[in-house]
Amino acid sequence: MAREIGVGLIGLGVVGGGVARALLERRDYFARQVGAPLVVRHAAVRDLAKPRTVALPPGVLTGDVEQVLSDPAVDIVVEVIGGEEPAGTFIRRALAAGKHVVTANKELMAKSGPELLADAHGRGLDIMFEASVGGGIPLIAPLRRDLLANRITSIRAIINGTTNYILTSMAREGAAAEALRKEGIEPVGSGGYQEALAAAQQLGYAEPDPTNDVEGYDAAYKLAIMASLGFRTRVRPSAIHVEGITKLTARDFQYAHELGYVIKLLAIAERTDGGIVARVAPAFLPQNEPLARVDGVYNAVQLEGDLTGQVLFQGRGAGAEPTSSAVVADLLDLAHSIVLGNRERKYWGPEGDTPILGVDALETRYYVRVHVSDSPGVLAKIAQTLGDHGVSIAAVSQKEADADERTAELVIMTHRAREGAMQAAMREIAGLTVVAEVATFLRVEG
Ligand SMILES: NC(=O)c1ccc[n+]([C@@H]2O[C@H](COP(=O)([O-])OP(=O)(O)OC[C@H]3O[C@@H](n4cnc5c(N)ncnc54)[C@H](OP(=O)(O)O)[C@@H]3O)[C@@H](O)[C@H]2O)c1
């Protein structure tokens, strides 16, 4: 058996703890797979006094990242602290010191992945980042390797467990409330977003500050990574249209259900004739679509290749064990390559320059919920405005008229329309005197 492969961990939290545990508990199995034992030389943390979920050999835990970066016996650095900085600096320094890197850092890889990968490649090293998207679900390796023969045409994903948990709760609460109302009982809960968020926070599925998840940024980072690999061109997070889930109401779930849809936060990147359109937004999805059945904290990614057709990946997108599975797989891959003599690693950076288009270029169907005054001719005015922009109505229904306030709610489903035209029509409709508010505007995907 070859010499030991030295591993240095930066971070020993949820993911780092899971990785350290797997390396200690499965040491012999991993050694047989790789042809050399993997040994954790150092694990750097911020607070040495914190209790840990894993018992490391004496002298391994350190409060000094320098020990990881400067020890020649560390061959591979595992960065699992998260955030752009100081993680980025640590990774650059690890590369400069001749060490391969494994990271779970979606934000850093989404924003600076190509530069970091080029830096690594220039030094005959590699950065592996399977854990940055979809936790334990294999996605990066399939995009980098197994689907390489394909021209990927679309990536459609539920890639944030927190929001999927919240949306699933809202849908279930809505269904339960509907059943109660049929029995003549008024439900106690509101079935609203705030209630579902609070429950997710209590269960540890949402962070105390949930902004990154509920506003769609986390999903956008993951989509940027997948789209850049899948389309072999750089898709920056800033080029992705992002909408969060905070404005959805129990009503939207009720109407979605009545119309045969579910509401999901979808991360979608597609090739169109003019370029790539990428978006993260809550959307209507037909109930019979595979992604519509992905509930709770589960993640799923549906890729479409010109040779494979549709391929679906599904599983647990977060948590210590699933994520450690992805980090350790990357570690084993790199360790094996070191055992084989550190042969040059393949370069994975973007190569094309396909234009990234705004959502204006999109063509799809739409669901719109509008509060209007309950007076004759309102629907005609709205239909006229949509028509002026080339948008035709597929179905419309009037809901919840309030006799005292003389207001009503209109739910409109459109035929396929260009998003630019639809947005222009919405601005005009919002300005009509008979319209109080365009309450919800969602794409119908699928
Ligand atoms: N949690 C998941 O399910 C999951 C899934 C996929 C990807 N990821 C990604 O994995 C990474 C880590 O996430 P996590 O959930 O494991 O985070 P976490 O539980 O908060 O752990 C972060 C660890 O990093 C250490 N740390 C932070 N700043 C440091 C610094 N400047 N120097 C040294 N150590 C530092 C912390 O030390 P202390 O322990 O002393 O505070 C802690 O051990 C992130 O990029 C995250 O996006 C997480």
* Residue 201 scores a pLDDT above 70: yes
Q: Are residues 312 and 323 in the same domain?
A: no
Task: Round the average pLDDT of the chain to a whole number and report it.
Answer: 94
Range of the domain at 81: 5-136+319-339
Domain holding 396: CATH number?
A: 3.30.70.260
The CA-atom distances, in angstroms, between 156 and each of 71, 263, 313, 364, 404 are 42, 14, 11, 15, 44
Q: What is the pLDDT of residue 273?
A: 87
Q: What is the pLDDT of residue 183?
A: 79
Is 236 inside a domain boundary?
yes
Q: Are residues 211 and 312 in the same domain?
A: yes
Q: Are residues 106 and 124 in the same domain?
A: yes
Residues in contact with ligand 1 (CB, 6 Å cut-off): 10-16, 44-47, 50, 65, 80-82, 86, 104-106, 131, 135, 318-319, 323
Q: Are residues 231 and 123 in the same domain?
A: no
Q: Token pair for residue 116?
A: 């970091």
Number of the ligand 1 atom closest to the C-alpha atom of 108: 45
Q: Are residues 259 and 213 in the same domain?
A: yes
Is 106 inside a domain boundary?
yes
* Residue 66 scores a pLDDT above 90: yes
Q: Are residues 89 and 188 in the same domain?
A: no
Pocket test for ligand 1, best of 10, 12, 21, 46 (most atoms within 8 A of CB): 46
Rama region for 254: left / alpha / beta (φ>0; ψ in -120 to 50; rest): alpha
Domain holding 210: CATH number?
A: 3.30.360.10
Q: Are residues 159 and 253 in the same domain?
A: yes
CA distance 68 to 76: 9
Q: What is the pLDDT of residue 224?
A: 98
Predicted confidence band at 441 (pLDDT cuts at 50, 70, 90)? Answer: very high
* % residues pLDDT > 70 (the chain): 98
What strands lie across the sheet with 61-62, from one edge to the other?
61-62, 38-44, 5-10, 76-79, 100-103, 127-128
Label residue 188 exposed, middle or buried (CB < 10 Å: 0-12, 13-18, 19+): exposed
Q: What is the pLDDT of residue 87?
A: 98
Is 175 inside a domain boundary?
yes
Predicted confidence band at 350 (pLDDT cuts at 50, 70, 90)? Answer: confident
Q: Quick check: is 399 catalytic? A: no
Average pLDDT estimate for 226-242 = 96
Residue range 317-335, pLDDT digits in tens: 999 999 999 999 999 999 9
Average pLDDT estimate for 72-98 = 98
Residue range 390-399, pLDDT digits in tens: 999 999 998 8
Is 353 inside a domain boundary?
no
Q: Considering 99, 106, 111, 222, which one is annotated as catalytic? A: 222
Q: Which residues pair with 438 in a beta bridge?
A: 370
Is 14 inside a domain boundary?
yes
Residue range 361-402, pLDDT digits in tens: 999 999 999 999 988 899 999 999 999 999 999 999 988 777
Structural domain tally of the chain?
Answer: 3
